[in-house]
Each structure stands twice: as C-alpha cells, then as structure tokens.
C-alpha cells in the first residue's frame, strides 16, 4: 500500500477518482468500508449488439480506478459487468443472420428472442456470452450480472416497491426533461405484456402502492390489465432503471460517456429521493473517427478491438484508454503507431523515475504495479520503415536485418519483438503499401542526398542512432528549408515513398549504414 504521506503527490486521474471514493466513505483518516464489506464498481452493457472498443475502454478504465483504490486504503473491491438484457429489441441489427425471423420479436426482451445465430438460448444469451468471452480474453476480474435474472429472481423487488411509493416524485424529476407528446405517455414502469410478451411503452392508468401493482391498457387488444411491479412483470425506463440498479446493488462507482451526462444527473436525483447517496462517477469524452465525428457502432465508423490487436498489443490499447479520458480523442488506425511507441517509451523510462512518480506513470496502471521488463530499443516506427524499405512480408527477412543490428537478439528469446515485427508487417500491408508514392528526386535536391551519402561513407559505423540523427540534422540546416520537417519529409518521400517516418538516425542504424548508402546510390542513378 502507498504511504499516506505520498497521497497528495498522486496526480493522475485513476488516483484522483480513487480519492473521490475515499472522501465519500469518510476520508483517508476516517475511512470506513461500506456495510457490505467491499467497494463495488459497476460497468454497464447494452446487449442489443456485440461488445465494442468502448466496452473495453470502460472496463479497463474502471479497473484502473479499482486498483488505485486498493493501493491507497485497505479495502476489498468488486467489479461487476451488468447486462441490460431485459431491454426490448428496438431494431434488427445489420450484422446478424436470419433477420426475417427477428421481425416478429421487435419490442420483446432480448432474453426472450431466439438466437439468430442458433447457438444459444436467446439473442440476449448469445450477446452476453460474446461479452464475457471478450472480457475474459483480457483477463479482467469481474462478476457478470444479467438484468433478466435479477428482475425475475426478485432481487430488485424491494427497490421497485420504493419507486412505486415515490411514483409522483420520480415523475417530477423526469417529466420536465421530456417533449410534450412524450410527457403524456411516460411512466417509470414498463409492463411486460401478458398477451404479446413485449416490453410496453404505455401510459399507466393507475398505480396501487398498497398492492405493489399498476394498471395499464395493452395496445394489442385495448384491454386493461393489472400487474405486479415485482417479480419480473415489469422493467423500468432507462434512467430510473439505472438509479434502481445503483440502489439495489449498492454501487459505489460507475463511469460513463459524455452522452449519458443527463442520465447520470437524473438517476442521481432519483437516488436522493429514495434516500440513497449516488455513486461516484467519471464522465469521459467520446471517441471520434477520422473525420472528427462521434464513433457509433451502428454506423460502423470506428475501429474494433480486433482491428487494433491486428496491429498492436493490448497494452498499447490500454495506454490509449489511460490517456486523457476527459478529452475527445480520434480513434482511428493512424493513432496506433504512436500509441505503440509511446507505451514502450514509458516502459523504458519506468525504472529510472522517482519512486512516487512511478505511481503516476501509465505503466503502473496498465500493469497494476507488476511491471514487465523490456529488452529492445527498436521502435515500432523504425520497424515499420524497415518493412517499407525492404518491401517484405516475411518476418525472417526483417529478423535478418535486426540480427545485423544486434547479433544478440533472436526471436526465440524476444517474443515481444517478434510480435512487434508481425504488427509492423500487418500495418504496412494494410495502410502504408496501398498509399506508397515515391517522389522523384529532382536535380535541384541532388546535393542533399550526395551530402548524406558522403557523411555516411565517412562516418564511424559504430556511431549511435542519436549521433547519426544529429549529423543529418546539421546537413539539413545548410539548405534553405523554412522548416526542417520539410527536409526530413523530402528524404522520406524520396527514399521510402511516404511523408512520415521515424527519426532518420534510428532507421539508418537499424537498416544499416552500407545498405542506406546503396539505397541513396540507386536513387541518385534514377535522375
């Protein structure tokens, strides 16, 4: 556990969030665990579709806060993933088979709908299984909870009765936020039709606190029915349902996206009406696509976790999720190379930073304090450009260059670098190669490359990457570039057929001085 005297120096957001929880439970000097004996963290999931990268982000971020809390105070914690699988099917997803079959089940609870994939008891069960498999792949420690089971088992009954008892007070919170036409039909309770099995969005004709029941008119036959609000006969509207969940499960912390800001506010007000303190929360910003538009799983304008893992490690994705959760961030394929190298930069620096600052490093939070070793200085961007200049999809070819760079490195003892090579090959083939366009070297720029060649011919082959970079930088200063970035851009375009690249010194060191001289020679001959 982190020394209490160091707490004020813990500035990164997981610790900030953990301190909010501590303050809510009496403060560091008077901290008292909840009566249940642990602090409960919740993440939520709507199983109308498959889990996506936002699901990963929410769980990994929540886990970081959970781990931060455990390092500050002696308290048990528990993480649940809640599936709202009693929700009615609103529309037929595009990415499922047997769409025609699902048309007859619009409006019915997801756990009452046949599985279009024909593998599970219901569509809800199918998507729940996918979610759990998804989370298990990353070794998250969590308890899965089904809304359907909780409602039908009566676990929510006590709170449902409280909501019925405070029916008018809850309406006074929700109704001012609704359009006039919606106000006329809104009810916190959604009865499950005994005739059709649908989750009904209908006006409640009468609520009976004494009987724990409501009376409604079923639109399928225009008949009035009385039903208990308990035992899974009803479910709640979303914002009320969220508050009910917080109360029934005694949730201490839950984060959510900015699009749910109003929902957090209203659910918190409902908690207070029912004499329950709402959980602490973090409202994070949304991810944006390459055009700066909000990512939507229905639109399909983002990237999936599987997409990311084709080009980079889970740790690099965790770093991306760690960085600035309150800022809107572009989430597209072009952010991956930077995230990979940023992860390794943090990892390499970790052992050399002050002990307390280690806790502020993203590495500590990504690995929950159990830090792996790193035994390679080769960056992803350097590998990417090595693959580019070699124009090879064979790992053995790339390893041949690396062994020349460092004879002590081999794939058997460095599986991480081996994976990094495969990532770079995948990324090159999918994103770099299709856009490769070499710039023809004009006579006016010939001398630049002659100067670089002369320098390489006369330099010590044991020169470090940094020394090579410095000398090439000095060559660039001789020429009339307004910005030296344009100098390096010219080199990348001529030699590699792309506008960006790694530090040139690092690339030359990895590719080899002799091979770089040969590459420049071949380019000069084309003039």
Q: What is the pLDDT of residues 480-495, one digit of tens each?
A: 888 899 999 999 999 9
Cα–Cα distance for residue pair 150/82, rounded to 1 Å: 10
Q: Are residues 9 and 136 in the same domain?
A: yes
- Summary mean pLDDT of the chain: 92
pLDDT at 294 over 80: no
In this prediction, what percent of the chain has a pLDDT beyond 90? 73
- Give backbone dihedrals phi and psi of 334, rounded to 5 degrees, phi first: -75, -10
Which has the closest alpha carbon to 134: 54, 256, 51, 64?
A: 51
Q: Are residues 256 and 304 in the same domain?
A: no
Q: Are residues 250 and 333 in the same domain?
A: no
Q: Residue 152: which pLDDT band, with cuts at 50, 70 and 90?
A: very high
Residue 197 belongs to some domain of the structure? no
pLDDT at 50 over 80: no
CATH value at residue 23: 3.40.50.620
Domain count across the chain: 3
pLDDT at 324: 95
pLDDT at 288: 83
3-state secondary structure of 145: strand
pLDDT at 122: 96
Residue 208 belongs to some domain of the structure? no
Torsion-angle region of residue 240: left (phi > 0), alpha (psi -120 to 50) or beta?
alpha
Which has the closest alpha carbon to 505: 462, 457, 460, 471?
A: 471
Q: Are residues 31 and 162 in the same domain?
A: yes
pLDDT at 302: 67
What are 301-321's pLDDT values in tens digits?
Answer: 568 888 999 999 999 999 999
Torsion-angle region of residue 153: left (phi > 0), alpha (psi -120 to 50) or beta?
alpha
pLDDT at 428: 93
Cα three-residue angle 257-290-485, rounded to 5 degrees:
120
pLDDT at 197: 96
Contact criterion met (CB below 8 Å) for 204 and 189: yes
Contact criterion met (CB below 8 Å) for 20 and 39: no
Cα–Cα distance for residue pair 283/396, rounded to 1 Å: 46
Residue 220 belongs to some domain of the structure? no
Residue 182 belongs to some domain of the structure? no
Cα–Cα distance for residue pair 507/491, rounded to 1 Å: 12
Q: Are residues 433 and 324 in the same domain?
A: no
Q: In sequence order, what DSSP letters do the residues of 311-364 get, joined into one string?
A: HS-HHHHHHHHHS-TTS-EE-SGGGHHHHHHHHHHHHHHGGGS-HHHHTTSHHH
Among 304, 339, 366, identify where a domain stops: 366
- Give backbone dihedrals phi and psi of 282, rounded to 5 degrees, phi first: -120, 125
Q: Are residues 277 and 142 in the same domain?
A: yes
Cα–Cα distance for residue pair 470/351, rounded to 1 Å: 27
Cα–Cα distance for residue pair 92/102, rounded to 1 Å: 7
Q: Are residues 359 and 248 in the same domain?
A: no
**360-376: average pLDDT:** 91
In this prediction, what percent of the chain has a pLDDT beyond 70? 98
Q: Are residues 294 and 399 in the same domain?
A: no
What are 73-132's pLDDT values in tens digits?
Answer: 999 999 999 999 999 999 888 878 999 989 999 999 999 999 999 999 999 999 999 999
Range of the domain at 61: 4-174+238-284
Contact criterion met (CB below 8 Å) for 471 and 459: yes
pLDDT at 94: 80
pLDDT at 390: 85
* Strands 234-236 vs 189-191: parallel, antiparallel or unpaired: antiparallel
Residue 291 belongs to some domain of the structure? yes
Residue 58 belongs to some domain of the structure? yes
pLDDT at 406: 83
Cα–Cα distance for residue pair 360/308, rounded to 1 Å: 25
Q: Residue 506: which pLDDT band, with cuts at 50, 70 and 90?
A: confident
Count the neighbouring beta carbons within 10 Å of the beta carbon of residue 74: 8
pLDDT at 300 over 60: no
pLDDT at 298 over 80: no
Among 284, 306, 322, identify where a domain stops: 284
Q: Are residues 403 and 324 in the same domain?
A: no
pLDDT at 413: 86
- Give backbone dihedrals phi and psi of 109, rounded to 5 degrees, phi first: -55, 145
**212-239: average pLDDT:** 97
Cα–Cα distance for residue pair 23/338, rounded to 1 Å: 36
pLDDT at 124: 94
pLDDT at 166: 98
Residue 191 belongs to some domain of the structure? no
Cα–Cα distance for residue pair 380/454, rounded to 1 Å: 28
pLDDT at 48: 78
pLDDT at 88: 95
**201-210: average pLDDT:** 96
**420-434: average pLDDT:** 94
Residue 19 belongs to some domain of the structure? yes
Q: Residue 326: which pLDDT band, with cuts at 50, 70 and 90?
A: very high
Report which DSSP code applies to 210. Answer: T
**158-171: average pLDDT:** 98
Which has the closest alpha carbon to 114: 82, 89, 150?
A: 89
Q: Are residues 309 and 412 in the same domain?
A: no
Among 264, 284, 304, identify where a domain stops: 284
pLDDT at 301: 58
pLDDT at 297: 54
Contact criterion met (CB below 8 Å) for 192 and 109: yes
Contact criterion met (CB below 8 Å) for 87 and 199: yes
Q: Are residues 58 and 159 in the same domain?
A: yes
pLDDT at 304: 84
Q: Residue 389: which pLDDT band, with cuts at 50, 70 and 90?
A: confident
Contact criterion met (CB below 8 Å) for 59 and 98: no
pLDDT at 85: 96
Q: Are residues 48 and 67 in the same domain?
A: yes
Q: Which of 235-249, 399-413, 440-454, 507-521 has the lowest mean pLDDT?
A: 399-413
pLDDT at 293: 73
């Amino acid at each position: 556990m982190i020394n209490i005297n160091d707490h004020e120096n813990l500035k990164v957001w997981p610790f900030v969030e953990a301190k909010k929880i501590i303050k809510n439970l009496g403060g560091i000097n008077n901290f008292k665990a909840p009566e249940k004996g642990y602090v409960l963290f919740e993440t939520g999931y709507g199983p109308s579709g498959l889990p996506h990268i936002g699901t990963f982000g929410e769980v990994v971020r929540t886990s970081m806060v959970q781990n931060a809390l455990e390092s500050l105070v002696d308290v048990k914690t528990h993480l649940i993933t809640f599936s709202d699988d009693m929700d009615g099917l609103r529309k037929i997803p595009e990415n499922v088979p047997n769409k025609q079959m699902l048309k007859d089940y619009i409006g019915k609870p997801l756990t009452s709908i046949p599985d279009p994939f024909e593998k599970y008891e219901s569509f809800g069960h199918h998507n729940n299984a996918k979610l759990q498999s998804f989370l298990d792949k990353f070794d998250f420690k969590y308890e899965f909870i089904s809304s359907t089971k909780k409602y039908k088992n009566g676990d929510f009954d006590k709170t449902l009765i409280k909501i019925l008892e405070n029916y008018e007070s809850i309406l006074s919170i929700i109704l001012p936020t609704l359009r006039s036409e919606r106000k006329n039909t809104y009810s916190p309770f959604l009865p499950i039709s005994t005739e059709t099995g649908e989750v009904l969005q209908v006006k409640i004709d009468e609520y009976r606190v004494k009987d724990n029941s409501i009376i409604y008119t079923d639109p399928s036959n225009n008949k009035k029915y009385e039903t208990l609000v308990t035992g899974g006969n009803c479910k709640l509207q979303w914002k009320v349902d969220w508050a009910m969940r917080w109360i029934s499960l005694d949730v201490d912390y839950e984060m959510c996206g900015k699009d749910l800001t109003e929902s957090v506010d209203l659910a918190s007000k409902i908690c207070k009406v029912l004499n329950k303190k709402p959980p602490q929360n973090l409202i994070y910003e949304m991810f944006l696509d390459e055009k700066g538009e909000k990512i939507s799983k229905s639109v399909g304008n983002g990237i999936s976790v599987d997409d990311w893992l084709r080009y980079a490690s889970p740790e690099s994705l965790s770093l991306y999720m760690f960085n600035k959760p309150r800022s809107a961030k572009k989430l597209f394929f072009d952010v991956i190379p930077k995230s990979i190298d940023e992860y390794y930069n943090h990892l390499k620096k970790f052992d050399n930073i002050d002990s307390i600052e280690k806790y502020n490093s993203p590495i500590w939070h990504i690995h929950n304090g159990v830090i792996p070793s790193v035994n390679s200085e080769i960056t992803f961007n350097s590998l990417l450009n090595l693959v580019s200049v070699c124009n090879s999809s064979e790992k053995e070819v790339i390893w041949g260059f690396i062994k020349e760079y460092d004879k002590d490195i081999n794939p058997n003892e460095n599986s991480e670098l081996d994976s990094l090579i495969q990532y770079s090959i995948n990324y090159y083939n999918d994103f770099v190669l299709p856009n490769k366009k070499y710039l023809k070297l004009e006579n006016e720029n010939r001398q630049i490359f002659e100067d670089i060649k002369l320098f390489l011919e006369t330099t010590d082959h044991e020169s470090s990457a940094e020394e090579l970079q410095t000398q090439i930088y000095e060559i660039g200063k001789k020429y009339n570039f307004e910005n030296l970035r344009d100098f390096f851009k010219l080199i990348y375009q001529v030699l590699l057929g792309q506008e960006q690249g790694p530090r040139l010194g690092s690339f030359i060191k990895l590719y080899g001085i002799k091979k770089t001289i040969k590459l420049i020679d071949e380019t000069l001959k084309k003039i």
